[in-house]
Every structure is written in structure tokens, then in C-alpha cells.
Amino acid sequence: MIKNWAIIRDILIRLEATSTPNTALDANQFPEYPEQEVAYNMRLLSEAGYIKANILESKSGDGRIAAALARSLTNSGHELLDTIRNDTVWAKVQDTFKSKGMDMTFDLVIMLGKKIAENFLLS
């Protein structure tokens, strides 16, 4: 499995858009992506402290995630989303990583996103 930034951004955006603070998103509510990829990226976001989630590992030995529920954004999750929500900033972040041939990490995405947003604001 890979860290999929399109899925990560979509999870964050959809969590923020929920109608109540306690509305959970299930990994199967993202029909445009394979459920296991969504579940895996929910687990990554949870482990990194960007969302609160319940992740249930399969006990059948197949290596799958049996269930993944994203429950809410943490303050750090809001900060990450604030950095990458804007489509123009997000496109520039992706283009920069691609042109430099570097892997996108949470810390680098936040740092670069803030710098790009700052440049937009000051120009």
C-alpha cells in the first residue's frame, strides 16, 4: 500500500464537511477509491495524529483492514487541511514534489504548502 495524497486530502475535506462533530466516515463511503486504500490512508492519518479513527484489523490472516471509521479531525488535521485545501496551492505543492522527484511527507507538505500560500499572500 502507498500513501495516496488524493485520498488523504479527500478524507480531510469530507471529515471537515460533516454536519455534526460526531459524524463518522466509513472507508466504503469513497466509491471512487478502493476501500482498502481508503482504510489504509485513514490508518496513516490516525497514526500521525491528524484524525481520530477506529481501525479494525482483519483476524482472518488476509492482511486486510476489516473496518475503518474516521471520526473527526484533530487540531493538527485542521492545520494540515488548511494548508492543502486551496486547489491552487495544492496543485503547486504536487507539482513541486513531482518536479524535484521527492516523496511527499506530512511535514514537507505542510512546510511547502505554507510557503506557497505565504508567497501568494505577499505577491
In tens, the pLDDT along 30-64 reads 999 999 999 999 999 999 999 999 999 999 989 99
Please give the model's pTM, rounded to 2 decimal places. Answer: 0.94
pLDDT at 115 over 90: yes
| Mean pLDDT rounded to a whole number for the chain | 96
Q: What is the pLDDT of residue 82?
A: 96
Give the integer Cα–Cα distance in Å for 53 and 47: 9
pLDDT at 22 over 90: no
Beta-bridged to residue 52, according to DSSP, are 72
Tell me the CA distances in angstroms from 86 to 43, 44, 91, 106, 119, one per residue in order: 24, 22, 9, 17, 14
